[in-house]
Amino acid sequence: MIRRWSVQEEYEAIAPEIEAAVKEVFSSGRLILGPHVASFEEKFSRYCGSAFGVGVSSGTDAIFLALKSLGIGPGDEVVTVSYTAVATISAIRLAGATPVFVDIDEETYGMEVSQVESACTTRTKALLPVHLYGQAVDLDPLLNLARSRGLAVIEDCAHSHGCTYRGKRTGTWGTIGAFSFYPTKVLGAYGDAGICVTDSEELDQRLRQLRQYGMTDGRLGRMEGYNTRMDEVQAAILEVKLRTLDEMIARRRQIAKRYDEALGGLLGIPAVKPYSSHSYYLYVVRHPDRDAIIAKLRERGIEVDVHFGTPIHRMEAFQFLGYREGSLPVTERVAKEVFSLPMHPFLKEEAVEGVVTALKEILS
């Protein structure tokens, strides 16, 4: 069995460190917003190159709070993509706002930034690019458009820990960067967690208030808020894992390089643009016979998955948004042909070769 994710393998490799961190928190009696949340916020925001970081309970909540902190809600539109995890859209809906979709770029599957301007209306308040699979969206045109129209930019960085756009980390270009630490992500907790990073002290303060019942200077009732805090125990685990994040990304890149070399002539491999690095949260390939190939890989004990097989605008739950089949042609075409190969830093050499050999056999 060749796994697509590393949750078990990782734990086998670093169990003593994880258990020591958990034990220390449990015996300290500080379970909510203690020293580890504060120091992880400081370390992760420094890692990104942002002035501030606010730890929250998930990536979904990071996007939700980012929108709330900017006063975005019912009646407001947020321009984003349909080709994303449903969480991106859940967060926009949780804030009460309306997602407006643009299509994706046929090469990178990221947001087609040239369509964003014409998707903007007088109700548009924010642009929400998703740095898909670990590669940055082309941010310069978006930032220029946002500046000229007075819009916020919220970066969905759930896939892009460590990824840089023009040499500077994703999450630090827009108004707020929203990260997920869901266990399988490039940096994952042992449960749910997320963070908002920003350079604005005012937004940092507002995010801190919103994540804890709206509490302002220790007082309740001046502002409406929520409970979307990061757990102390998750912060302690994330601090341990942050130390080796760059090594883990380097290993992902090594695996991607081997896949690229071996598979480039057989199927569509990830295109990496000169403006971005790639953290390879997912290694996504493309072939018109996707479903048959997946079935054969599974027969050989190789775990594969599809990100994303049903774009949001084709999901039953989101029909009320009013997008018909054919309205986002590249999104719909790509969703039928992509699949994700095993990709994680604990994937052994033999496993990588096993995937390569299987695909060569299947596609010959």
Number of residues that bind ligand PLP (CB under 6 A): 15
Of these, 66, 70, 78, 87, which contacts ligand PLP (CB under 6 A)?
Answer: 87
Alpha carbon distance 156, 179 (integer Å): 7
CB 297 within 8 A of CB 358: yes
- Told to check if 84 binds ligand PLP by CB under 6 A, we report yes
- Told to check if 156 binds ligand PLP by CB under 6 A, we report yes
Tell me the residue ranges of DSSP E strands in 67-192. 77-81, 98-102, 124-127, 152-156, 164-165, 168-169, 176-180
| Residue 300 CB, nearest approach to ligand PLP (Å) | 27
Mark the segment that binds ligand PLP (CB under 6 A) among 58-66, 74-82, 167-175, 343-351: 58-66
Residues 306-345 that bind ligand PLP (CB under 6 A): none
- Told to check if 59 binds ligand PLP by CB under 6 A, we report yes
Q: b vs e for 125-142, b when ≥16 Cβ sit within 10 Å of the residue's Cβ? A: bbbbbbbbbbbbbbbeeb
Of these, 55, 194, 225, 311, which contacts ligand PLP (CB under 6 A)?
Answer: 194
- Told to check if 159 binds ligand PLP by CB under 6 A, we report yes
- CB-wise, 91 or 358, nearer to ligand PLP? 91
Mark the segment that binds ligand PLP (CB under 6 A) among 44-52, 53-61, 72-80, 230-238: 53-61
Alpha carbon distance 208, 327 (integer Å): 39
- Told to check if 45 binds ligand PLP by CB under 6 A, we report no
CB 175 within 8 A of CB 22: no
Angle 201-211/59-69 helices, nearest 10 degrees?
120
Mark the segment that binds ligand PLP (CB under 6 A) among 82-90, 94-102, 105-113, 294-302: 82-90
With a CB cutoff of 8 Å and minimum separation 6, the contacts of 206 are 69
CB 103 within 8 A of CB 241: no
What six digits make up the tokens of 175?
């108004």
With a CB cutoff of 8 Å and minimum separation 6, the contacts of 199 are 50, 51, 52, 172
Mark the segment that binds ligand PLP (CB under 6 A) among 43-51, 113-121, 152-160, 257-265: 152-160
- CB-wise, 87 or 293, nearer to ligand PLP? 87
- CB-wise, 182 or 190, nearer to ligand PLP? 182
Mark the segment that binds ligand PLP (CB under 6 A) among 80-88, 139-147, 161-169, 335-343: 80-88
Of these, 102, 120, 158, 248, which contacts ligand PLP (CB under 6 A)?
Answer: 158
With a CB cutoff of 8 Å and minimum separation 6, the contacts of 45 are 51, 52, 53, 195, 197
Alpha carbon distance 122, 129 (integer Å): 19
Binding site for ligand PLP (CB under 6 A): 58-60, 84-85, 87-88, 130, 156, 158-159, 180, 182, 192, 194
